[in-house]
Structure 1
Amino acid sequence: MIYYTREQIIELTQLWQGERLPDGRPKVADHLLEKLKSMTLEEIWLPLYMKDYRFQFEGELKPLHAGKKLVGRAVTATFMPTRPDLMDGIKRERGTKGYSGTCNQWVVDNLSEGDVVVADMYNKIWNGTFLGGNLTTAINIKTKSGGAVIWGGVRDIEQMEKIDTQVYFRGTDPTPIRECLMASYNGPTRIGAAVCMPGDVVFGTKSGVLFIPAHLVEDVVNSAQKTQAKDIFGFAMLALGKYTAAEIDSTIWTLDMVNEMIFFLDTDPSGEQYRGLDWSMEINAAHGDQAAIDELMKGYLI
């Protein structure tokens, strides 16, 4: 089994230049995680897609708690079907590392506050139940606000529903976890059509799960906040009859509209949290700067 070391995780995530967790995973700031909780999937997805991160979303998952959002830092695990010689090696490794129990228990035992288990169980549901009532309780205690994303099964669903921890999964079965083993821990993994790296921010909504690369979180949050600010201003102007829907929906606003929006955000109570955002690209586009226009149009042309 491959246990990615701190040095290997840093190499994998070298675009991240900020603080790191003891195991080497990027530690995205808590205040950014809090901001994400008020944002929508579409607000977050678009700037990632525009930066060519095209395989970050998976919608074919079931949420344990309908409507409960999940935001946290990914701890990844990749499983595969068992074979005797490989299992013997993992059992020897388990002894040298002092682990006990099954591989899924090892992952949960090493979680910390804010972590989200992201486990590729290769869509195994029968004999592929990564979580049940006990391990979901352990996740709740260890991570507090964290949870799990399982490309496989869970069991004890009636017990799990009583625990205030969000879990996304493929299906349920009464069988325990069997005939599988963990091939890698805290390395790149796949959840359906999406790719997740250790330390990615897991963004779970009622629509599905998005994995945000740590080094892009701040940019994504700023972009989403600008979308929210434009919506607040746009809704207010439509209510007043000041601008038409076509003008508000336009990708490139006039200079008058941009300046009026900035004044609105600076003076209206609804714009307080959006004050200080950088609108230079929108201003440059309004002046006819082609580079700024091209950048803003990316979101329209996808």
Structure 2
Amino acid sequence: MFSIAQRCCPLGFALLLTAAQASAQLAGFGPDQLRKYTPLNPYERLADGRPAIPEYWLERLREASTTLAQEVLAEHGYPNQFEGGWTNHEAGKKLVGRAFTAQFLPDRPDVMEIAEADSKARGEDAHPTKRVIDLLSPGDVLVADIMGRVEKGQFGGDNLILGLFLQTGRGFVINGSFRDLDGVAEHGMPVFVRGYHPGVREDAMLSGVNTPIRIGRVTVMPGDAVLGDRTGVVFIPPHLVEAVARAAFERRQ
């Protein structure tokens, strides 16, 4: 079995700054809005406006548990950043990275017609899942809301998800499902989903990328740090990443 980390191109920060240049996205927040709604961000920003949390601090988060992280966040006035109840077939591996969000809504023909026409005019892939994957960069964790569906809420199958792994070198969080578990599992990446189903996604249109989304009880902002373990997933605002990492260090002393 090959290593996703070995296959994922080490394009580094330059690609992070350029991969989403098309990100006057499908709908939702552009760079200016992301700057406006994440004013406490202490780091530089990616081209799409997301906070560029340094890899150093993301790696320090691996030393934290979601329980500790949620305690720290609650102490700072953020009590609603944890979501549990996931299916995770690599429960022993932590998921850490920068959130890249995608939102799916129930189909509505008049809206879909305009959105698909705009996407075609921009030269984007006709397949919504591929469209999202094409925008991902190394270090991104896709966080997608497909309305919590298992049946008819599949993000994709093993071939598309392999493409996602190769783009990011990370796993993902899908408030929905995927198919072809055997093919996905052989790559050994940590993923969090509501379940698995052999069917295909139906009655779900891609309504936005890099926009605030709801995952269970959490409002997830593009660029949040994602930390997933056996307990669940916590979404950490960038300005609190160092507080969580330092608390984890102190806990080990």
Q: TM-score range by the shorter chain?
A: 0.7 to 0.9
Say which one has the larger Rg: 1
Letter in 2 for 1:173: H
Partner of 1:223: 247
Out of 81, 84, 89, the position equivalent to 1:64 is 89
Structural RMSD (CA): 1.3
Partner of 2:77: 52
What CA distance in whole angstroms lies between the structure 1 residues aligned with 2:131 and 2:239?
A: 28
**2:61·2:244 contact (CA, 8 Å) conserved in 1?**
no
Query: CA offset at residue 82 of structure 1?
Result: 0.1
Q: Give percent identity, aligned residues only.
A: 37
Query: CA offset at residue 3 of structure 1?
Result: 4.0
What CA distance in whole angstroms lies between the structure 2 residues aligned with 1:117 and 1:60?
A: 18
Out of 163, 170, 182, the position equivalent to 1:158 is 182
**2:64·2:244 contact (CA, 8 Å) conserved in 1?**
no
Out of 112, 134, 142, the position equivalent to 1:109 is 134
Out of 206, 215, 218, the position equivalent to 1:194 is 218
Partner of 1:91: 116
- What SS does structure 2 have at the residue aligned with 1:139? helix
**1:70·1:205 contact (CA, 8 Å) conserved in 2?**
yes
- What SS does structure 2 have at the residue aligned with 1:175? coil
**1:120·1:151 contact (CA, 8 Å) conserved in 2?**
yes
The answer to which structure has the higher strand fraction is 1
What CA distance in whole angstroms lies between the structure 2 residues aligned with 1:101 and 1:171?
A: 26
Query: CA offset at residue 223 of structure 1?
Result: 2.2
Out of 88, 92, 106, the position equivalent to 1:81 is 106
TM-score where L is the length of structure 1: 0.73
Partner of 1:212: 236
More moved, 73-82 vs 125-134: 125-134
Out of 47, 59, 77, the position equivalent to 1:22 is 47
- Does residue 11 (structure 1) correspond to residue 45 (structure 2)? The answer is no
Q: Which has the higher contact order (CA 8 A, sep 6+)?
A: 2
**1:59·1:208 contact (CA, 8 Å) conserved in 2?**
yes
What CA distance in whole angstroms lies between the structure 2 residues aligned with 1:54 and 1:97?
A: 40
- Which blocks of at least 5 consecutive residues in structure 2 are unaligned? 1-25
**2:100·2:210 contact (CA, 8 Å) conserved in 1?**
yes
Deviations 1:77-122 (A, max 9, x none): 1111001111101111111221113222211111101000001111
**1:6·1:25 contact (CA, 8 Å) conserved in 2?**
yes
The answer to which structure has the higher helix fraction is 1
**Which ranges of 4 or more aligned residues in structure 1 deviate by more than 3 Å?**
none
How many residue pairs get aligned? The number is 228
- What SS does structure 2 have at the residue aligned with 1:18? coil
Letter in 1 for 2:84: G
- What SS does structure 2 have at the residue aligned with 1:90? helix
**2:40·2:239 contact (CA, 8 Å) conserved in 1?**
yes
- Does residue 118 (structure 1) correspond to residue 162 (structure 2)? The answer is no
Counting only pairs closer than 5 Å after superposition, residues 280-295 of structure 1 correspond to structure 2 as none
